[in-house]
Every structure is written in structure tokens, then in C-alpha cells.
Amino acid sequence: MSISYQEQERIFVLQTPHTTYAMQLAASGHLRHLYWGKKLEQALPDGLYVPRNRSFSPWMADDPESMSLLDSASFEYPVFGCGDFRIPALELRLANGTSASDLRYREHRIQSGKPGLPGLPATYVEDEAEAETLTVVLIDAVAGLEVELAYTAFRDHDAIARSVRVRNVSDAALRLEKIASAAVDLERADFDLIQLSGAWARERHLMRTPLRSGLQSLSSCRGASGHMQHPFVALADRRTGEESGEVYGMSLVYSGNFAAEIEVDQEDNTRVAMGINPFDFEWLLEPGEVFQAPETVMVFSDAGLGDMSRTYHRLYRERLCRGRYRDSDRYILINNWEATYFDFNEALITSLAHEAKELGVELFVLDDGWFGKRDGDNSSLGDWYPDPKKLPHGITGLAEKITAQGMKFGLWFEPEMVSPDSDLYRAHPDWCIHVPARSRSLGRNQLILDYSRRDVCDAIVAMLSEILGTAPISYVKWDMNRHMTEPGSAQLPPERQREVGHRYILGLYEVMETLTSRFPDILFESCSGGGGRFDPGMLYYMPQTWTSDNSDAISRLKIQYGTSMVYPASAMGAHVSAVPNHQHGRVTSLETRGHCAMSGNFGYELDVRKMTAEEKAMVREQIRRYKEIRHTVLFGDLYRLKSPFESNEAAWNYVSRDRKEVVVMAFYILAEADAKERRLRLGGLDPVRKYRVAATGEEYYGEFLMNYGLTLPAWTQGDFKSTFWHLLAVE
């Protein structure tokens, strides 16, 4: 890894282990993007930028060299109004009402390490030697705005982390109308756009479509990243597959309203800009004030989508997630939600926990319904004290009973919400996000607390701390079940009302930072009606996320496959639930449900007391097996072998970092009569090492397993089949 400045050519070169990112300062002071791709070991030549004259393309009067490429040149941080007609990264409104801007170089610095982003989640280093950071300062001299572009190159990861900070250096207020975290101009457009889109219970489905001329975009204005679109895009060469071909990934470390805009111009150049959604956003920047935009993590690979994903997995697992649980195997848990919903009491919960403990489960999670008077989803959010009717000995009494059995205890909260039928709302009706005189739209019968307010955040931190500080709690599930409407805050002046979406997220991050550092021994899992806020921002505070409310094994094949484009298995909560499945009634075998859930952060979500002796024996066996393989699944390298988006099958394997252990999962969705036996070629093994199949003792060389493959069973009878192999290197 290195960052250097070639003085003579005025070129900045950022090197990661296998990639290079370069930009050049034009004589005019414009910062042009030069290159992002496979590593270039030698110095870059000058003269790469050839001014040309094109009709209808303006040039700058003070910069004949720009002639006349401003509307198709590659910029590092494009702005609007002085020659470039494509989507800008930054949009301003000056005191005089105009919005044209022009950014020119002022200075730069290169430093070791990676500074943090105040108030925002970001990738980090533990040692200065792990990264170098370049900051290029640009200025719009007329607007009086200084723009700091930060670029970090990592020593151990093929990733570039970018962020932007602006400062008003004028003596008048400015309005930021858009501030992308990164923009990239690529001088080609023959790409496929890869996105992760979906819906509630259908999150992060992989979509791949050819780019077309003009603007295409993905965004959220829901106050959260959302189930529907996801803050990640990749541009892949049309021929790029899982293990070959070029791909450019961009992932935004942010949990609120985002936009990823992709524009193909008249010269077949592609611009991607990613950051806070400019729609319904505005930020008033008084003289001297600073605004920090979130981080975008950019990964290039010339070895396919699989290699891009493994880079994201390692970086996010090791240098985005934090805390005591970052590197440790996670508890196998049981959650009572689908077993009881709101209808439980202390005796029922203790008997569920007892039975689960007998089967080998390590942690019991008490879900929604333990507080206030909450017998349904229409009351009590905000009243974070136990319901004495259900829990006569409180959370402490219940948690003590469960921990006395040798199990850990976890608890559900939905701390960002308030029910209109709650003591909290009756006492503070203006504590929710709302617009005066407008009716307050409900979602799941609830309103959103105004986390842009410090008093609200402090009150929630105090209420949660009271419980977390007194009961023996080892895990918290942090839920969030509606999106933002009537965006407005009782505490903000009119000229700042469009700041509420971002201020909400800043408040949320601060609350999560306070609680996770105050309770470092608690494992936090985030959730938003399943995977509605499964994003890198949340992973910085909570190292795992409930992947989806859809726990059907077959639906989960697509959801988990799509999620794995960016996120490691350690981040993905995956549970075995009852059949017929509660979300859509499908019946799958306990074996298939087990294999799918064992592909992530494993647990159960059903009434184990209702299982037959045979089923209980299988659960015992699944737990025993998962304990054997979990380190490799959670912390190994993932190789996707068959895509459920492209076929009737799904398969993947995990390889431990020392390549001595391999776990393979394969699924066959719908049966076919007379289907022939198929083979499954594995990925990532050591070709010259011999591996033994744990269940049968058969031995094969890695090269054989990767090229000839393992033979899959001939699944002809019955749908939704699966199989599993555990292979260990023969010493």
C-alpha cells in the first residue's frame, strides 16, 4: 500500500495490494480522475489528457487546456454550472441565490493511518501502518467553500475509502443541497449495473441490467436505508462472472436516506455518485461551520464478483465491525417471536429456554411484548419497563432464572419508536417526528421518536441503561419497524427542517455509540422489520443484523445470496423456523432449514417444546455440527458456486483462512423426474492439499475438488432438498 504524488506530472497515485487509483491536477487546478483498476506498478506518464474541441461543450475562459471537455471530462468531485452538465457530486445555493460552482486545488496532505469521521461510522485501522490517507483540499473561491476529499488506501485490503468534508470559509451562510460522498468517472459504459433491491421479506435480491444512456438511480427517502433499495452498486464488465472479470463496487457506510446515481453521457463515459439522498435534503452552513459526509468504500476486482465480495467481507468484518464480539464465534440463539408472538408469561419463557438449553442452544432472546401493556403491536413502545402481568419478577428475575440454567439471556427493544398509546407519548407528544398541524401517519401503529433532539436521545439512553445495567443481559436485538413520514422536528427552525433526516441518523449513531460503549459485553444485533436497515453504518455499532423476517429456507437462499455480495456470514442472522412457514406457508424439511440457517449466524425461532423426539434429535445434531463449523462459516472465505437467481440450485462453500477446513452447502429447489447426478466444483481450496470428507472418510485433492468436483445426490423425489459436506485437510 502507498500513496504518492508524482510532482512533475501532478499525479496522485494510491496503491492497494492489487489495485491502483490515480488522479491528476490540471494546470487550471481542476482535479481529474485518471484511473481506477488493476494495479499499475510503474509511474504513470503525463499527457494522458488531450484537449479537444467539441460542439456544444463549453470551456473555461481562464483554462484553454480544458477545451472543450468539461462536459465529458473525468472529474474527481464534479460540480454543476461551469461546464459539466452531468450529475454533480455537490450542489450549493449561495447567499445571492445562484448555484453554479467551480472547485480548484488548494493543497493536499498525505498521512499514515486513517482519521475517524466525527459522529459517523467508518472503516478504521488499529495501527497507523495499516493505511495511508490522502486529503486533497479544493476550494470554490466565489462561494467561499472549502472541500476536503479524503482517500484511504489499505495495506491489507483492496479497497479505497472515500469521504468528504466541507467548510464554509465565507462570511455568509451557504446552503448545501447535495453532497455525495464519492463520485467516479469511468471512461466506458459497456457495464452491467448490479444492485440489491427488494421489499419487506424479500430483501437484497440480486439484479443485473445493462447500463443505458442517461441517468439511472437507486435511492431511499424513507429515513432508513430500507428493504427496497440498498446503498450498494457495482458496475461489472458484461462478461464478469463469480470468479473472473472486472467489477467496480461502491458501498455507502450510512443508514439513512441515500442515493446512488449512475449516468452514461453522450461520449459513453459513466459517472457514479453516491451519498446522502439530495431529495428533501438541505443543510444550512453558517460561516465557519463544517459538514462531514459519510464514507463510501470502493472495491475494484479483476477476479469477479466473488473476489469483490470477499474483499468487502474481510474489510467489514475486521475493520468496520467493532467490539468484543468482532472476532469471536457468536452464540447459537433461540428467539421466542415466532413461537409465542405477544402471548407469553414467565413460566412459558422459562420452559422454552429450558428445552432449548437441553438441545444445546446457548442464548435465549426474549422478543417483543415484555414491556408496558403490550399484548399486540398497538401500544407501549417507549415504556421500557417490564409488564408485571407477564413477568412478575421483572426482566431481572427472568434473566436470572435463565442464566441460572447455564444459558445467556438477550432482550428485544425498539428504542427509536413511540406508540401513541404509551405513557411516554402522553407525557411528550412533541417528541416524535412530525409537522405541526399535519396528521401524524402511523406505521404499525407507531410514530418515530425525534432522535435529532438531544433531550429525546438522552431519555432513551437513560431508560435502556436502567435495564441493561441491572439485569444479566448478554445480547440486545435493536429493532425498527416503520419508515419516516411528515419529516419535521419541533426543535429545528424553519430553515433547518430539511436537515431532519440526517440529524435523525446522527442522533441514532450517537445513542448507539453511547450504549454499545457503555455495555461492551453485550452483543448487539440490529434489525428493521428483518433486513430493512442491513447496512454498513449499522455494522459499525452492531456486528450482526437480522437478515429478513422471511425465515423460509427457500426464500432465504436468494436473500442470503444477495446479501453476501457485500456482507460476511458473521453479519447475517439466520434462524430455523417452524413449518408451514409463517410468512408464506411453505413446508421444507428440518434438514434444509438447518443447512440454510447454518450458512449464517445460526439460531432457532420456533417452539422447541412442540417438536417430536426425532426432530429434537436432529436439532441436537445440527447444533453439534454448527459448533464444529461455525468459525469457518463466520470467519472463512465465501465462494458462491451456484446462484438461485440463475438456476434451480444454490450452493456455496466456506474456506478457513488457513485453507485446512471447508464447509459446503448445496440446495436443489424443485425436484425433476429422472434428474441426473450433477457435480459441484468448489472454490478457494489449496490445490495440492488432500481433504477428507468428515462424514465418509473419502479423500480428494483440492485441485480435484475445484475442477472435477463433488458429486451431488440425484434429487428426484420431493422439492427443497439440500446437502452438506465438511472437509478437513489431511495432515
The residue nearest ligand DGJ at its CB is 368
Give min distance, CB of 667 to ligand DGJ, in A: 23
Q: Which lies closer to ligand DGJ via its Cβ, residue 240 or residue 547?
A: 547
Q: Which lies closer to ligand DGJ via its Cβ, residue 532 or residue 684?
A: 532
DSSP 443: B
Catalytically annotated residue among 368, 549, 552, 607? 549
Q: Which of 27, 116, 106 is nearest to 513 (CA)?
A: 116
User: Is residue 458 flagged as an active site residue?
Assistant: no
Q: What is the DSSP string of 258-316?
A: EEEEEEE-TTS-EEEEEEE--TT--EEE-TT-EEE--EEEEEEESBHHHHHHHHHHHHH
| 3-class DSSP assignment, residue 638 | strand
- Distance between CA atoms of 34 and 23, rounded to whole angstroms? 5
Give min distance, CB of 434 to ligand DGJ, in A: 23
- Distance between CA atoms of 567 and 251, rounded to whole angstroms? 11
| 3-class DSSP assignment, residue 325 | coil
CB-based contact 603:527 (threshold 8 Å) = no
What are all long-range contacts of 19-28, with beta carbons under 8 Å and residues at least 24 apart? 19/158, 19/160, 19/300, 19/301, 21/151, 21/153, 21/160, 21/298, 23/76, 23/136, 24/48, 24/49, 25/105, 26/63, 26/65, 26/66, 27/63, 27/65, 28/60, 28/62, 28/63, 28/65, 28/66, 28/104
Give min distance, CB of 422 to ligand DGJ, in A: 15
Give min distance, CB of 643 to ligand DGJ, in A: 26
Give min distance, CB of 58 to ligand DGJ, in A: 52
Q: How many angstroms from the chain centroid is the CA of residue 228?
A: 13
Give min distance, CB of 605 to ligand DGJ, in A: 8
Beta bridge partners of 151: 134, 162
- Distance between CA atoms of 540 and 682, rounded to whole angstroms? 32
- Distance between CA atoms of 124 and 126, rounded to whole angstroms? 7
> In terms of C-beta density within 10 A (0-12 exposed, 13-18 middle, 19 or more buried), how is residue 591 classed?
middle
Angle, in degrees to the nearest 10, between helices 553-563 and 590-597: 10
CB-based contact 432:443 (threshold 8 Å) = no
Q: Which lies closer to ligand DGJ via its Cβ, residue 194 or residue 512?
A: 512
- Distance between CA atoms of 414 and 379, rounded to whole angstroms? 12
Give min distance, CB of 345 to ligand DGJ, in A: 17
| 3-class DSSP assignment, residue 532 | coil
Query: Can you tell me which residue has the cell 437480522?
Result: 546
Q: Which of 163, 155, 164 is nearest to 125 (CA)?
A: 155
Give min distance, CB of 444 to ligand DGJ, in A: 8
- Distance between CA atoms of 161 and 497, rounded to whole angstroms? 30
User: Is residue 607 flagged as an active site residue?
Assistant: no
Q: Which lies closer to ligand DGJ via its Cβ, residue 479 or residue 637?
A: 479
Beta bridge partners of 263: 215, 271
Residue 610: φ, ψ to 5°: -90, 5
Q: Which lies closer to ligand DGJ via its Cβ, residue 415 or residue 683?
A: 415
Q: Which lies closer to ligand DGJ via its Cβ, residue 111 or residue 340?
A: 340
Q: Where are the beta strands (DSSP E) in 39-103?
A: 90-93
Q: Which lies closer to ligand DGJ via its Cβ, residue 75 or residue 541?
A: 541
Strands 690-693, 572-577: pairing is unpaired
- Distance between CA atoms of 550 and 564, rounded to whole angstroms? 16
- Distance between CA atoms of 261 and 88, rounded to whole angstroms? 10
Q: Which lies closer to ligand DGJ via its Cβ, residue 199 or residue 714?
A: 199
> In terms of C-beta density within 10 A (0-12 exposed, 13-18 middle, 19 or more buried), how is residue 301 classed?
buried
Q: Which lies closer to ligand DGJ via its Cβ, residue 314 or residue 556?
A: 556
| Largest separation between any pair of C-alpha atoms in the chain | 83
How many Cα atoms are found within 13 Å in the side-chain-facing hemisphere of 56?
Answer: 3
Q: Which lies closer to ligand DGJ via its Cβ, residue 202 or residue 319?
A: 202
Give min distance, CB of 412 to ligand DGJ, in A: 6
Question: What's the length of the chain?
Answer: 731
Q: Which lies closer to ligand DGJ via its Cβ, residue 294 or residue 415?
A: 415
Q: Which lies closer to ligand DGJ via its Cβ, residue 367 or residue 661?
A: 367
Q: What is the DSSP string of 371-418?
A: BTT-SSTTS-TT--SB-TTT-TTHHHHHHHHHHHTT-EEEEEE-TTEE
Residues that bind ligand DGJ (CB under 6 A): 337, 367-368, 412, 479, 481, 527, 529-530, 546, 549
Give min distance, CB of 546 to ligand DGJ, in A: 5
Q: Which of 594, 574, 615 is nearest to 724 (CA)?
A: 594
Query: Can you tell me which residue has the cell 447459537?
Result: 332
How many Cα atoms are found within 13 Å in the side-chain-facing hemisphere of 236?
Answer: 25
Catalytically annotated residue among 71, 265, 479, 637? 479
Q: Which lies closer to ligand DGJ via its Cβ, residue 325 or residue 412?
A: 412
CB atoms within 10 A of CB 407: 22
CB-based contact 453:503 (threshold 8 Å) = no
- Distance between CA atoms of 99 and 554, rounded to whole angstroms? 51
- Distance between CA atoms of 646 and 669, rounded to whole angstroms? 12
Give min distance, CB of 528 to ligand DGJ, in A: 7
Give min distance, CB of 387 to ligand DGJ, in A: 15
**Which residues are known catalytic residues?**
479, 549
